[in-house]
Chain A
């Protein structure tokens, strides 16, 4: 158990819908990262937050947004979903950027 908790584990939804993925980082970790793993793109960095503020953006679509709350949990919002958004979404956390990152078990999103 990495100490990073993601919910839900599985999610099936229709095209055009909106979903929210939740992540609770390890106790004491201030940095939260979101990654997407799809078959054709591999593991891609989406966005990073540090102590409530956005720190870095990767290949995140405009239809996607995220935030980190005062209690340090984070949510990733995916809207206007398309079939191609089907993927495994991971959250990771670390004490500081550059230190060891630990990953949650992922949320498997299927868009039908």
Chain B
């Protein structure tokens, strides 16, 4: 099946810093989503971005489908950004999301 690799696995930032999270995938995809899992376990949708660039406040994402990677940018990080960020992709035949192992982000005050 499709492989999804996220880097870095762990990231510690000071409040106000910027960061870039990466997601590499092994095959062409129909769907790519970024999620934030907060400390209470909720999976929150950040972006649905099979290709192109999107921005939402301090967050933005870019997917280069032809090169099989996606980037999530977090600017001016806040302590509430802490948690695990997941990239998930779907190939047309599978029809379900395959998740990466996540990037655990800790933002310190």
Contact = CB atoms under 8 A, between A and B. Distances in A.
Interface string B10-21: 000000000000
Contact of A42 (B31, B42, B102): B102
- Interface SS of chain A: helix, strand, loop or mixed? strand
Nearest to B86: A43
A42 B96 contact: no
Interface stretch (A14-22, A67-75, A92-100): A92-100
Interface string A63-88: 00000000000000000000000001
A56 B88 CA distance: 17
Contacts of A44: 99
B45 interface: yes
Interface string A37-69: 000001111001000000110100000000000
B95 A48 contact: yes
A99 B101 CA distance: 22
Contacts, number: 53
Interface residues of B, number: 22
B56 to A, nearest CB: 13
B97 A101 contact: yes
A105 interface: yes
B98 interface: yes
Contacts of A103: 35, 42-43, 45
Contacts of A99: 31, 48
B97 to A, nearest CB: 6
A101 B90 CA distance: 11
A58 B45 contact: no
B41 A100 contact: no
A8 B39 CA distance: 19
A55 B94 CA distance: 9
